[in-house]
Amino acid sequence: MCIGSDEWWNESSDNLRAIIENAPRKMWVGRPDGTAKFYNREWRRYTGDIETTPDHGWRDLVHPTDLHRLRRIAAPAIAAGQRYDVEMRLKRQRDGAYRWHRASVAPVEREGRLIAWVGAAADIDDRRRAEIALRESEGNFRLLANVIPQLAWMRDMRDGTVWYNDQWSEFTGLSGDEIARSGWRATVHPDQIDELNRIIDDAHGRREPWEFTCRLRSRDGDYLWFLIRAVPILEDGAVAVRRWFATATDIHRQYELQERQKLLTKEVSHRVKNSLSLVASILDVKARSSRNEIIRDVLLDARSRVQTIADVHDHLWKQEDARVADLGEFLRDLCRKLGDSAPHHNIAFEGFRHIVPAEQAISIGLVVNELVTNALKYAYPADQGGPIRVILGKGDEGHITIEVADEGVGLPEDFDLSRPGQSLGMKLIARTTKQLKADASVARLEKGTRFAIQVPKTS
């Protein structure tokens, strides 16, 4: 079956020995019984010059922990004359360090007889240690992911596999295999799945994080509100996404509290609006029944201010969130109502959609109401109408600007915006502007006047 002499080696050409000697990997040639005959330069450089006594065997350089596994794999393969592969640590001569290698040993046959063994070992220490570090890192990650209270999952973009933490099974009542087959999106409320898919597709195309608030189905069949956040994990030094990691945080209780708060705020705003409208109506009746012109004007001014606040609340309670208001829509509606009360004037509004806190909308509405009312009273001669423009614009650093301009007779020569004097309306404008932390200015135009306030951006 095999021969024990070295004739085959002696008969071989020098070319074969030169090839093995200069191979870039550690190589050796063994006799049919497995004992070593020759080690190449790369092997000797790593282990020390042992060619003079090759029979001591390269297995002596194997880490003691790996030696049993090597013998268990090599012994039956040698006996059967079959190739074998094994990963093991080999000792480096210069510092005594053990580095991981993958060794492949194959039989050499001639005319059906085993005449030798040829082995090669590749250094895989860096890769092996990286794999060990990766496994430890993934193990630590999974341990952490199973400790956090959120539902968590991770999708590998290379093979499409998805990993789910234990909280997913606990919440949905589904096993890991069941979740993997149906996918996590199957637990999303049907009314929200289309919007979710659009958000995910857009985020994947841009390789950017995304978040979405939706309802997920629990093991009891109830849908609870969750905030989902997902982030891409990029390949090292590349733009390709290797994995997506996502969490779903239970916000059901907070969401219900917020919804109840919104409902309560809308109800309060509705009742405040009704109460203020009643006060405005009483002031209007009193004004019209008064024979004193001064008292009548004071009552009508008061009615206008109260009605402006009532209009804000009327606007608030009709929308989804009564804590904020669309300032553009509100000012447009305010100008329309002021125009209805002054048919001889053309009150025009220009602006855009801009969401502000409700209290800020009320204050700005009061200022605009005063400025427009003053223009109606003083800008044009009695019984003559004219244009009044209200413009909502964008200023620097996110500020908003509100301008009220007319084409009337202009301001008195002694008018000073910083000294509102005895006018209740100008005092109200000055005080409200201060509360808004806004800057107010006035410009005398070639024809008419322009008041402007700049309101800082709300946090």
* CATH code (residue 337): 3.30.565.10
- The answer to whether residue 2 sits within a structural domain is no
- The answer to whether residue 1 sits within a structural domain is no
- The answer to whether residue 387 sits within a structural domain is yes
Residues 156 and 90 grouped into a single domain: no
Q: Which of 100, 123, 146 represents a domain boundary (last residue)?
A: 123
CATH number at residue 41: 3.30.450.20
Give dist(CA 219, CA 223) in Å, integer. Answer: 9
- The answer to whether residue 451 sits within a structural domain is yes
Using alpha carbons, select from 350, 344, 329 the residue that is nearest to residue 376.
344
Residues 315 and 329 grouped into a single domain: no
Q: Are 387 and 406 in contact (CB under 8 A)?
A: yes
Residues 220 and 202 grouped into a single domain: yes
Range of the domain at 243: 129-250
Q: Which of 303, 322, 341 represents a domain boundary (last residue)?
A: 322
Residues 139 and 243 grouped into a single domain: yes
pLDDT at 422: 55
Number of domains in the chain: 4
Residues 138 and 118 grouped into a single domain: no
Give dist(CA 346, CA 349) in Å, integer. Answer: 10
Distances (CA, A) of 346 to 152, 351, 384, 387: 59, 16, 11, 5
Q: What are phi and psi of 82, to 5 degrees?
A: -115, 155
Residues 335 and 415 grouped into a single domain: yes
Residues 246 and 213 grouped into a single domain: yes
Residues 115 and 62 grouped into a single domain: yes
Give dist(CA 405, CA 60) in Å, integer. Answer: 98
- The answer to whether residue 59 sits within a structural domain is yes
Residues 329 and 445 grouped into a single domain: yes
- Look at strands 84-91 and 98-110 and give their pairing: antiparallel
Reading the chain (459 residues) residue by residue, the pLDDT tens digits are 344 455 555 555 677 788 888 888 899 888 888 777 888 899 888 987 654 454 555 667 889 999 999 989 988 998 889 999 999 999 998 888 999 999 999 999 988 889 889 999 999 998 888 887 777 766 666 666 666 778 888 888 776 767 888 888 888 888 767 777 777 888 999 999 999 999 999 998 888 899 999 999 998 999 999 999 999 887 665 677 888 888 889 988 888 777 776 666 666 666 666 676 777 777 777 777 777 877 877 777 777 777 776 776 666 556 666 677 888 888 998 888 888 878 888 999 999 988 888 788 888 888 898 898 888 888 887 777 899 999 999 877 778 899 999 998 888 887 877 776 656 677 778 888 888 888 889 898 888 999 999 998 765
Residues 19 and 111 grouped into a single domain: yes
Q: What is residue 156's three-state secondary structure?
A: strand
- The answer to whether residue 119 sits within a structural domain is yes
- The answer to whether residue 332 sits within a structural domain is yes
For residue 376, the 8-state DSSP code is I
Q: Which of 305, 322, 339 represents a domain boundary (last residue)?
A: 322
pLDDT at 100: 92
pLDDT at 3: 42
Using alpha carbons, select from 401, 333, 397 the residue that is nearest to residue 364.
401
- Look at strands 346-350 and 387-394 and give their pairing: parallel
Name the token pair of 68. 């049993």
Q: What is residue 8's three-state secondary structure?
A: helix
Q: What pTM did the predictor assign?
A: 0.44
pLDDT at 85: 94
- The answer to whether residue 82 sits within a structural domain is yes
Using alpha carbons, select from 406, 339, 403 the residue that is nearest to residue 378.
406
Residues 176 and 227 grouped into a single domain: yes
Distances (CA, A) of 179 to 139, 171, 200, 214, 336: 21, 11, 19, 18, 56
CA 81 to chain centre: 59
Residues 142 and 167 grouped into a single domain: yes
Q: Are 401 and 454 in contact (CB under 8 A)?
A: yes
